[in-house]
A and B are shown apart, each in its own frame.
Chain A
Amino acid sequence: MIQRMSLPFLLLVACDGGGTKDTDTGGGGEAARTFDYFVFTNEVYTGDSTCIGSDMGTVDPAKQVSVTFNGEVHDFQTENEVSEATVQFWLADDISGAADAEHTADADGKFSTTVPTCTPIAYGTFTPPEWEETVDTYEVHQVYGYVETGSIDGEWVNSVSQSTSKIIPSVIGIEWDNTTGIIAGTAFDCTETEIGNAQIFIHDGNGTPPATGEIFFFDDNNLPTSHDKLTATNPENGLWVAVNVPVGTWQVEMWGWSGTEHVLLGSTVLNILSGSVNISNIYTGHDDGIAYPDSCLMGAM
């Protein structure tokens, strides 16, 4: 199952007010980068969080089989096919090592490989740097549901164009240091519906945030807010983006305000590589960013 962010046209950006991280007018001054810097909302989160702490189901080993994957590489924004892109798969869901499989898409962006179902894996899409066409795009913790036919057909893998990677920071109003990475994702509740009013906190696993990296949310038009009208939280769309996240492994957490306290809704772990865009969703009730489709769970038909 792949949950895809839906970004209409990234140039079409709107700003709908809301709180700001720094309410000083006239600029200047940077707040200490602590938990409170990232999580401060008093807007109660929307969505179902009843699954937190509950049994999320057990994966049925019988559903973990290898299937043919007839995929297509598409541009994340325009949804056009990306010709002759290189696609790599890491079947252990760890992009730090060598890929387990590598394929080159044809002129229509199509390729075939073999993937395990009901098993978290990672993929990356690339084009030669001299083409100046795309940036290295990764999507980890992908789980493809069990299929009886033995093949998954027409599934898309994402590629982010250089144009898109530039224009998101550009409309936000921040310089992207391309020795760092960008993370973009959606926050989901227990029913895998977009969750509203969540905030994102990134840390090293011990509560220490990275030295750089700013979180931005998307407004009601599903578009990133600009820097001088930062929304404190994502609205109903669940969309967020982190720019300038340093290279390394980071815990990415989704927090919400219950009305009395901030509660951890879900989290994921990401390995950020230099100059990369990482598409990653966070699911309520999961601490690893991995959400198994129902077809993978014990008792599923």
Chain B
Amino acid sequence: MLGALWLALSAASAHADAPDNWKFSLDGYYRVRGHAFWDLYEGQADAGTYMTHRVRLQPQLNFEDRAKFFMQVDALDGAVFGDNMSQASTALFAGSPSETGIDGVEGDVISVPRAWMEFKVPVGLFRVGRQSSQWGMGLLANNGDGFDDSFGENKFGSTYDRIIFATRPITVATTVANMVNPATKVRDIPLITAFGVDRLVEDPLIQYYGYTCDSGETDDDARCAAGDDHSYTSDRDPQYRPDTWWVDTQDDVYEMVYVLIYRGEDLKFGKSLVGDLTAGVYIVNRVQAETDSDVVILDAYVKEEIANTYFEAEVLTIQGGTRAITLASGNAEDPLGKEAAIWGYVLRGGYQDQRWSLLMEHGYASGDETPTDENFTGRPLHPDHNVGLLFYEEIMSRITAETWGDGAKGLWSNGGVYNSRYIFPNVRFRPLPNWELSGAWMMAWPDKPDGARILCAEGDEVECPVYSATSDYLAWEADFAIKHRWADHVNVTVEGGYAHVTDRIPLKNNGLQYETDENGATYGNYFTLQTRVAYEF
């Protein structure tokens, strides 16, 4: 979002010269991705393989660079190759493929996940509608667009119903000053501020009560009417919503968004060094009245590319109180009360030139050793911040889904960096135009073992009923990729990964293959080969 805002604002001075007509452009891609996994899932004797589609169309209507309309249309998104709903009575004679996803559920043939408009006013730019959101390295807000990761694929993408206004206050001021006195030549500073509001929920289908009532027993809670029977929350059926369901503002969830970012390009450092510098902060205040939720998200980002050096970092924290999380606290008087104290960061830096990139990445996502106390400290990084192909993307994703179950999907990692810290040195080599070879190694350590998803070992700074693990680290993984662009538009990638997962991870009881060493410790070794062929418009 902010990158696009920047580009739009950067073009502000050019719009007067734009032709007075409409322009239509089309971005997006059609992509096929193939997956093969060896020795990963329980009962898997041979390589498990599947391929998926995705069509992503991102048309744009542009009127004189002053007013634009954007849209995203997805088709066959995640549909697995073949007829997987038995549309043909005999599988051997199947001819018409279905739209079945890897989760076994029939998906939409076409969906419109985003549509928004953007228009300029004399002092800035408005963007209104269901739009993508991207900030920094994408640890918190990640638009999931394109093929921006060294390994893996974007699968989610942040989308918000948002109204946001962005301006360049110093540009406005200098423009006014130069108009008043053309001789002053006041120098502009590329500073952008933005202010927005997101409506996350108008009417939740989870009815919040904050107390329990049991019709079957004597209930001394004065808030319970006769016959009331509910937990702290309960599900509602949308068909029983009243006509005025949108009137209640107590249950609305919205957030205020504040952005301040400096983006300097071709800056001079000393006599000969030239480079770019970006730094900013993204602040979100998310509130819901009926659950007394008042949470502040602070996300700082910096990036420098000076000469052949490169450094990029993002640090985020989520702080505040809420009663909206149905993992009750330890306070008997206020069982739903939670205080969020979540941290995450990624640092990446190194050397890069036209042929080589030598980078070191280190990241962290805070965990929660006791998800059911009054402190809410764990949250994975955004699942589209991909680190490798196997450990976070497949194994931790599987472990969190299996151990939390369908009743707590909000606590699944979905492939994001989870309750751990990692290092991820990687090398990219571009021997020829349109060719890139990549290699990387990842190693991860636990943050706060919770005994269910990350097992405890003696010496951990947490108290566990069982200390069954012996390893200090969670896993290591080696990845490689070969990327080639053909005929300007065809993106071809072959990626592979090998992971060793230690006895810190409960492989045995969560549907993953494992081996046992001479000391009885379980571990797993896994391999994947994945390919992508995409036609980019």
The reply to whether the CB of B81 lies closer than 8 angstroms to some CB of chain A is no
- Which residues of chain A come closer than 8 Å to B407, judged between CB atoms? 10-11, 163-164, 167
Q: How many Å from the CB of A225 to the closest CB on chain B?
A: 8
Chain A, residues 223-235, CB within 8 Å of chain B (1/0): the string is: 1011111100000
Which chain B residue lies CB-closest to A12?
Answer: B328
- Chain B residues 482 to 532 lying within 8 A of chain A, measured CB to CB, are 506, 508-509
- Which residues of chain A come closer than 8 Å to B467, judged between CB atoms? 27-30
Q: How many Å from the CB of B520 to the closest CB on chain A?
A: 12
Which chain A residue lies CB-closest to B450?
Answer: A173
Which chain B residue lies CB-closest to A11?
Answer: B326
CB-based contact B372/A15 at 8 Å: yes
Bound Cα distance from A178 to B507, whole angstroms: 12
CB-based contact B369/A228 at 8 Å: yes
- Chain A residues 121 to 170 lying within 8 A of chain B, measured CB to CB, are 162-164, 166-167, 169-170
- Which residues of chain B come closer than 8 Å to A228, judged between CB atoms? 369-370, 462-464
- Which residues of chain B come closer than 8 Å to A225, judged between CB atoms? 372
Bound Cα distance from A8 to B214, whole angstroms: 9
Which of A16-24, A46-54, A55-63, A92-100 contacts its partner?
A16-24
The reply to whether the CB of B222 lies closer than 8 angstroms to some CB of chain A is no
Chain B, residues 323-360, CB within 8 Å of chain A (1/0): the string is: 00011111110011000000000000000000000000
- Which residues of chain B come closer than 8 Å to A171, judged between CB atoms? 327, 371-372, 452
Interface size of B by CB at 8 A reads: 47
- Which residues of chain B come closer than 8 Å to A24, judged between CB atoms? 463
Q: How many Å from the CB of B104 to the closest CB on chain A?
A: 11
Bound Cα distance from A227 to B453, whole angstroms: 13
CB-based contact A162/B405 at 8 Å: yes
The reply to whether the CB of A176 lies closer than 8 angstroms to some CB of chain B is yes
Q: How many Å from the CB of A173 to the closest CB on chain B?
A: 3
- Chain B residues 208 to 231 lying within 8 A of chain A, measured CB to CB, are 212, 214, 217, 231
Bound Cα distance from A225 to B453, whole angstroms: 17
Bound Cα distance from A57 to B455, whole angstroms: 49
A22-B463, A30-B466 known; A15+B373 contact, CB < 8 A: yes
A14-B335, A221-B332 known; A27+B451 contact, CB < 8 A: no
Chain B, residues 428-472, CB within 8 Å of chain A (1/0): the string is: 000000000000000000000011110110111111111110000
A13-B327, A166-B405 known; A174+B370 contact, CB < 8 A: no
Bound Cα distance from A41 to B289, whole angstroms: 43
CB-based contact B406/A163 at 8 Å: yes
The reply to whether the CB of B408 lies closer than 8 angstroms to some CB of chain A is yes
Bound Cα distance from A42 to B110, whole angstroms: 65
Q: A interface, how many residues as a size bin?
A: 35 or more
- Which residues of chain B come closer than 8 Å to A227, judged between CB atoms? 370, 450-451, 463-465
CB-based contact A26/B459 at 8 Å: yes
The reply to whether the CB of B404 lies closer than 8 angstroms to some CB of chain A is yes
A170-B405, A174-B452 known; A229+B370 contact, CB < 8 A: yes
CB-based contact B461/A27 at 8 Å: yes
- Chain A residues 228 to 282 lying within 8 A of chain B, measured CB to CB, are 228-230
The reply to whether the CB of A177 lies closer than 8 angstroms to some CB of chain B is yes
Q: How many Å from the CB of B329 to the closest CB on chain A?
A: 6
CB-based contact B404/A173 at 8 Å: no
The reply to whether the CB of A175 lies closer than 8 angstroms to some CB of chain B is yes
CB-based contact B404/A170 at 8 Å: yes
CB-based contact A174/B326 at 8 Å: no
The reply to whether the CB of A172 lies closer than 8 angstroms to some CB of chain B is yes
Chain B, residues 293-321, CB within 8 Å of chain A (1/0): the string is: 00000000000000000000000000000
CB-based contact B463/A15 at 8 Å: no
Which chain A residue lies CB-closest to B448?
Answer: A228
CB-based contact B217/A226 at 8 Å: no
Chain B, residues 252-291, CB within 8 Å of chain A (1/0): the string is: 0000000000000000000000000000000000000000
A27-B463, A221-B328, A227-B464 known; A175+B335 contact, CB < 8 A: no
Bound Cα distance from A27 to B508, whole angstroms: 23
The reply to whether the CB of B232 lies closer than 8 angstroms to some CB of chain A is yes
CB-based contact A29/B458 at 8 Å: yes
The reply to whether the CB of B403 lies closer than 8 angstroms to some CB of chain A is yes
CB-based contact A12/B335 at 8 Å: yes
Chain A, residues 201-219, CB within 8 Å of chain B (1/0): the string is: 0000000000000101001
The reply to whether the CB of A220 lies closer than 8 angstroms to some CB of chain B is yes
CB-based contact A173/B370 at 8 Å: yes
Q: How many Å from the CB of B516 to the closest CB on chain A?
A: 13
The reply to whether the CB of B175 lies closer than 8 angstroms to some CB of chain A is no
CB-based contact A14/B451 at 8 Å: no
Which chain A residue lies CB-closest to B213?
Answer: A8
The reply to whether the CB of B402 lies closer than 8 angstroms to some CB of chain A is yes
The reply to whether the CB of A9 lies closer than 8 angstroms to some CB of chain B is yes
The reply to whether the CB of B58 lies closer than 8 angstroms to some CB of chain A is no
B372, B464, B508: the one within 8 Å of A14 (CB)? B372
Bound Cα distance from A228 to B460, whole angstroms: 12
Which chain A residue lies CB-closest to B401?
Answer: A166
CB-based contact A27/B328 at 8 Å: no
Q: Provide 6 A-B residue pairs closer than 8 Å at the C-beta atoms, listed in order of the A residue.
A: A11-B407, A27-B463, A27-B467, A163-B406, A170-B403, A174-B452
What are the 6 closest A-B residue pairs judged by CB atoms, nearest first?
A173-B451, A13-B372, A28-B458, A163-B405, A9-B231, A166-B405
